[in-house]
Amino acid sequence: MKTLFKTIEIVNIVAVLFLLAGAYGIAITGFLQITTALLFVVVAPRNRLIYCYFGLVIFFFLIWDYSSMDWLFALPIFLVFFLTFIIYKHKKQLKEK
């Protein structure tokens, strides 16, 4: 489990770095973030925040109409930092045990 959690951390850091690549970077970041979240569910299936994350991801894709990305652009960026928060909060909880 430690190796999988370390992999989750590394993939998340790479995903955050892809934000700097512009439009294509956001698409790659989204793919890496979903992959990271799925791996995180394997590590911590009882974590409620990860299910909130998936709910927000589903909400984003339900309301996205492929043409306007003005205010909706803020949600993927929020999701990147929200998943990072979930991962490091869980890491802190593991260290406290």
Tell me what the mean pLDDT of segment 13-36 comes to. Answer: 87
pLDDT (0 to 100) of residue 67: 64
- Which pLDDT does position 58 carry in this prediction? 93
Tell me what the mean pLDDT of segment 4-15 comes to. 91
Closest CA to 12 of 42, 32, 41, 39: 32
pLDDT, residue 77, reads 85
Going from N- to C-terminal start, the domains of the chain cover 2-96
User: At what angle are helices 48-63 and 23-43 packed, to 10 degrees?
Assistant: 150
pLDDT score of 7: 92
Q: Which of 5, 3, 27 is nearest to 15 (CA)?
A: 27
Q: What's the rounded Cα separation, in Å, for the pair 20 and 3?
A: 27
Burial (Cβ within 10 Å: 0-12, 13-18, ≥19) of residue 93 = exposed
Using DSSP's 3-state secondary structure scheme, residue 97 falls into coil
The pLDDT-based confidence of 21 (bands split at 50, 70, 90) is confident
Q: Are 19 and 80 spatial neighbours (Cβ–Cβ below 8 Å)?
A: yes
pLDDT digits (tens, 9 = 90+) for 29-70: 989 999 999 999 999 999 999 999 999 999 988 888 766 667
What's the rounded Cα separation, in Å, for the pair 8 and 74? 23
| 64-88: pLDDT as tens digits | 876 666 777 788 889 999 999 999 9
